Amino acid sequence: MRALFTNPIKTPLLSHLFSCSNFLPIRHGLSDSLLPSFLRVDSTPSFTTQRSALSMAAIPPKSPSAEEEGLARRFWIKFKRESVFAMYTPFTLCLASGNLKIDTFRNYIAQDVHFLKAFAQAYELAEECADDDDAKLSISELRKSVLEELKMHNSFVKEWGLDLAKEASINSATVKYTEFLLATASGKVEGVKGPGKLATPFERTKVAAYTLGAMSPCMRLYAFLGKEFQAFLDLNEGNHPYQKWIDNYSSESFQASALQNEDLLDKLSVSLTGEELDIIEKLYHQAMKLEIEFFNAQPLAQPTVVPLIKEHNPARDHLIIFSDFDLTCTVVDSSAILAEIAIVTAPKSDQNQPESQLDRMSSAELRNTWGDLSREYTEEYEQCIESIVPSMKVEQFNYEALYDALEQLSDFEKRANSRVIESGVLKGVNLEDIKRAGERLILQDGCTTFFQKIVKNENLNANVHVLSYCWCGDLIRAAFSAGIH
Q: Are 223 and 254 in contact (CB under 8 A)?
A: yes
Which of 254, 269, 221 shows the shortest CA–CA distance to 141? 254
Alpha-carbon gap, residue 315 to 318, rounded angstroms:
8
pLDDT of residue 288: 95
Q: Is 382 a residue of the active site?
A: no
H or E, element range at 305: strand 305-307
218 part of the active site: yes
Other Cβ atoms closer than 10 A to 473:
17
pLDDT at position 304: 78
pLDDT at res. 69? 74
What is the chain's mean pLDDT, rounded? Answer: 77
Question: What average pLDDT does range 303-325 have in this prediction?
Answer: 76
Q: Is 322 exposed, middle or buried (0-12, 13-18, 19+ CB in 10 A)?
A: middle
- What is the DSSP code (8-state) at residue 51? G
pTM of the entire structure?
0.55
Domains of the chain: 14-21+33-307 (1.20.910.10), 335-440 (no CATH)
pLDDT of residue 252: 93
pLDDT of residue 167: 57
Alpha carbons within 13 A on the beta-carbon side of 346: 22
Of 20, 94, 129, 218, the active-site residue reads 218
- Say yes or no to pLDDT of 225 above 90: yes
Mean pLDDT (whole number) for 344-365: 68
Q: Pick the residue with more confidence: 23 or 321?
A: 321
- 147-167 confidence digits (pLDDT tens): 888 887 777 666 666 666 565
Q: Which of 122-136, 260-274, 342-356, 358-372 has the lowest mean pLDDT?
A: 342-356
Specify the pLDDT at position 58.
Answer: 37
Grade residue 256 by pLDDT with cuts at 50, 70 and 90: very high
Q: How many CB atoms sit inside 10 A of residue 411's CB?
A: 11
Residue 200 has pLDDT above 70, yes or no: yes
Catalytic residue among 291, 329, 384, 472: 291
Query: Which is more confident, 63 or 248?
Result: 248
Query: Are the CB atoms for 402 and 34 separated by under 8 Å?
Result: no
| Per-residue confidence (pLDDT) for residue 107, from 0 to 100 | 87
pLDDT, tens digit, 9 for 90 and up, residues 430-465: 889 989 988 888 999 888 888 888 888 877 887 888
Sign, Cα dihedral of 377, 383, 387, 391: positive
